[in-house]
Amino acid sequence: MTREEKYRLIEQARPGELEKLRAQVGLSPWRQSYHIQAPTGLLNDPNGFAYYQGEYHLFYQWFPLGTEHGMKYWYHMKSSDLAAWEDLGIGITPGGPYDSHGAYSGSAIEKDGKLNLLYTGNTRDETWTRHPYQCLAIMDAGGRIAKLDRPVISSVPPGYTDHFRDPKVWKSGEAYYCVIGAQRTDLTGCAVLFRSKDLLDWTFMGEMKTGLSPFGYMWECPDYFELNGSGVLVFSPQGLEADEDLYNNIYQTGYVIGKPLDLATREFRHRAFQELDRGFDFYAAQTTLGPDGRRILVAWMGLPDVAYPTDTQGWSGCLTIPRQLTIRGGNKLIQQPVPELAKLRKTRSSAELTVTDEVVRLNGFDGTSYELICEISKFDAEQLGLEFRASDHEKTVLKYDRVLKKVILDRTLSGRAMDEVNGNVRRCGLVADNLKFHLFVDASSVEIFVNDGEEVFTGRIFPDPASKEIRLFCSGGSAEFRVCKWDI
């Protein structure tokens, strides 16, 4: 697409253009069955995730007219249980003076009975220079969303470039705070803080003082929250170099955890950066607080600057399932699928067997969209694990290498080849005598929670719909497997 084509509003589609896209999407073999995905075009970051008036609201970045990063809307979904989602269509339409080139990412908070949506208005001038504004849109109890005429933060403070976006808002005491992803003029990434009494008038506080400097060239989508007395900053730094099993994705998403942020001094003392996910496609995570105090996370199951096989089918991207967060051992975030997802379960199959130096197909277990729990114990095999979305020519392989003490996810033979830039094998160290692999498989993705969320691997895969088999295997010894699967 040309620049002009990318920055069109949906009304500016050529006659028949949307119908053609819809028809292409309708023919795609990789449409998801229970993950949030766009009707057409590109989905990227989750936005405005909030519990409001008895329901969860979740928006996402949406470019309707193609799978490139063009004119971004906020698309609106809601749910009473985090399992079934209702499609509410467009939430925020860009194209105003302060979001002429996209309503970029942001977050939501309730105030005076209304849901306030704080987002970055992306604009470009005649010389294509970017001018970001932080804008506010307000949703009333009837679901009507109105943008304010003027931005609430209209300039970038000195010392930062035009890469200044993605406000995440929270309340502490009587004041509102937001953290914004930024790039310093020396081209290093950081997060900055603002304070407000009313969400309208914001004061620049300065940079969040972390121990990470320099750490990449831009931090996108920062999210600060407190959990069990610790402070956590989740963010997506760009520009980290791969380091053995770490940072293998083109861009990372992870967190630092420590003592709560000191809002007076902006000091945030924390431990080392850790990746949230050990898989392939995971970015721009955003969290919210549930009514019961749970911290719930969703992320884009995709990455910027990576091509996906559905690009030629008129759509790209989906969100992860919602995951609840806890802290283990004071310094590690544990992600678990929210238990509400059990509502999606249909037919159940189960098996218990010992596997010795062989590959065993589980009869009656075939599927393309399911939840599966595989517990493995008493193993002396060198390698053990499962193959899924498998056929005679395709398979996705999840295994434990007992010699290397690593969990390995291999999508080399998963199906349609993926963009080389992001690779096809991921490994992660794990010392364990018992393994629990909890999988959520959909038409074109897999999310794997290892040992109750100790590690998580998220990835898109693009198999033939006929690749449905599930197999267990061991080499160099044996293992006992207990497997339970529910169709979704």
Q: Which residues are catalytic?
A: 45
Which one among 38, 75, 156, 166 touches ligand FRU, defined by CB under 6 A? Answer: 166
Q: Is 238 in the site for ligand FRU (CB under 6 A)?
A: no
Q: Is 45 in the site for ligand FRU (CB under 6 A)?
A: yes
User: Does residue 20 sit in helix, strand or coil?
Assistant: helix
Torsion angle, CA of 111/75/335/398, rounded to 10 degrees? 180
Rounded distance between C-alpha atoms, residue 157 and residue 434, angstroms: 52
Q: Is 137 in the site for ligand FRU (CB under 6 A)?
A: no
User: Does residue 7 sit in helix, strand or coil?
Assistant: coil
Which one among 8, 57, 101, 165 touches ligand FRU, defined by CB under 6 A? Answer: 165
| Smallest separation (angstroms) from ligand FRU to the CB of 304 | 5
If the CB atoms of residues 105 and 396 are measured against ligand FRU, the closer one turns out to be 105
Considering only residues 375 to 434 of the shown chain, the ones binding ligand FRU according to CB under 6 A are none
| Smallest separation (angstroms) from ligand FRU to the CB of 283 | 6
First to last CA, the chain: 37
The Cα-based distances of 9 to 6, 48, 96 in angstroms read 9, 21, 11
| Smallest separation (angstroms) from ligand FRU to the CB of 122 | 7
If the CB atoms of residues 105 and 467 are measured against ligand FRU, the closer one turns out to be 105
- How do beta strands 396-401 and 348-361 pair? unpaired
Amino acid at 250: I
Which one among 284, 384, 456, 474 touches ligand FRU, defined by CB under 6 A? Answer: 284
If the CB atoms of residues 161 and 230 are measured against ligand FRU, the closer one turns out to be 161
Q: Is 281 in the site for ligand FRU (CB under 6 A)?
A: no
Which one among 157, 304, 423, 477 touches ligand FRU, defined by CB under 6 A? Answer: 304
* β-bridge mates for residue 226, sequence order: 231
Please choose, from the candidates 133, 51, 142, the residue with its C-alpha nearest in 3D space to the C-alpha of residue 94. 133
* Residues binding ligand FRU: number (CB under 6 A): 14
| Smallest separation (angstroms) from ligand FRU to the CB of 62 | 9
CA triplet 50, 54, 58: central angle to 5 degrees? 30
Interface map 109-128 toward ligand FRU (x if CB under 6 A): -----------x--------
Q: Is 71 in the site for ligand FRU (CB under 6 A)?
A: no
Q: Please give, one letter per residue, the 3-state secondary structure of 354-369.
A: EEEEEEEECCCCCCCC
If the CB atoms of residues 115 and 284 are measured against ligand FRU, the closer one turns out to be 284
Torsion angle, CA of 231/284/486/428, rounded to 10 degrees? -70
Task: Name, in order, each residue with C-beta under 8 angstroms of 15's C-beta and a sequence gap of 6 or more.
Answer: none
Q: Is 458 in the site for ligand FRU (CB under 6 A)?
A: no
- What DSSP designation does 142 have? T
Q: Is 105 in the site for ligand FRU (CB under 6 A)?
A: yes
Query: Are 175 and 111 spatial neighbours (Cβ–Cβ below 8 Å)?
Result: no
Which one among 221, 318, 461, 470 touches ligand FRU, defined by CB under 6 A? Answer: 221
Rounded distance between C-alpha atoms, residue 329 and residue 16, angstroms: 56
Q: Is 210 in the site for ligand FRU (CB under 6 A)?
A: no
Which one among 8, 35, 57, 72 touches ligand FRU, defined by CB under 6 A? Answer: 72
25 membership: H or E segment, kind and range: helix 17-27
| Smallest separation (angstroms) from ligand FRU to the CB of 152 | 16
If the CB atoms of residues 282 and 473 are measured against ligand FRU, the closer one turns out to be 282
Q: Is 168 in the site for ligand FRU (CB under 6 A)?
A: no
Cβ-based neighbour number of residue 11 at 10 Å: 7
Q: Is 313 in the site for ligand FRU (CB under 6 A)?
A: no
CA 343 to chain centre: 22
Which one among 36, 41, 43, 44 touches ligand FRU, defined by CB under 6 A? Answer: 44
| Smallest separation (angstroms) from ligand FRU to the CB of 38 | 12
If the CB atoms of residues 60 and 462 are measured against ligand FRU, the closer one turns out to be 60
If the CB atoms of residues 40 and 324 are measured against ligand FRU, the closer one turns out to be 40
If the CB atoms of residues 164 and 437 are measured against ligand FRU, the closer one turns out to be 164
Which one among 116, 178, 220, 395 touches ligand FRU, defined by CB under 6 A? Answer: 220
If the CB atoms of residues 180 and 362 are measured against ligand FRU, the closer one turns out to be 180
| Smallest separation (angstroms) from ligand FRU to the CB of 305 | 10
Which one among 73, 104, 268, 449 touches ligand FRU, defined by CB under 6 A? Answer: 104
Task: Name, in order, each residue with C-beta under 8 angstroms of 128's C-beta and a sequence gap of 6 or more.
Answer: none
User: Burial letters for 178-200: b for 16+ Cβ neighbours within 10 Å, e otherwise?
Assistant: bbbbbbbeeebbbbbbbebeebe
The Cα-based distances of 126 to 7, 130, 131, 465 in angstroms read 14, 10, 11, 47
Please choose, from the candidates 73, 29, 15, the residue with its C-alpha nearest in 3D space to the C-alpha of residue 466. 29
| Smallest separation (angstroms) from ligand FRU to the CB of 281 | 12
Q: Is 449 in the site for ligand FRU (CB under 6 A)?
A: no
Name the residues that contact ligand FRU, by CB under 6 A.
44-45, 61, 72, 104-105, 120, 165-166, 220-221, 283-284, 304
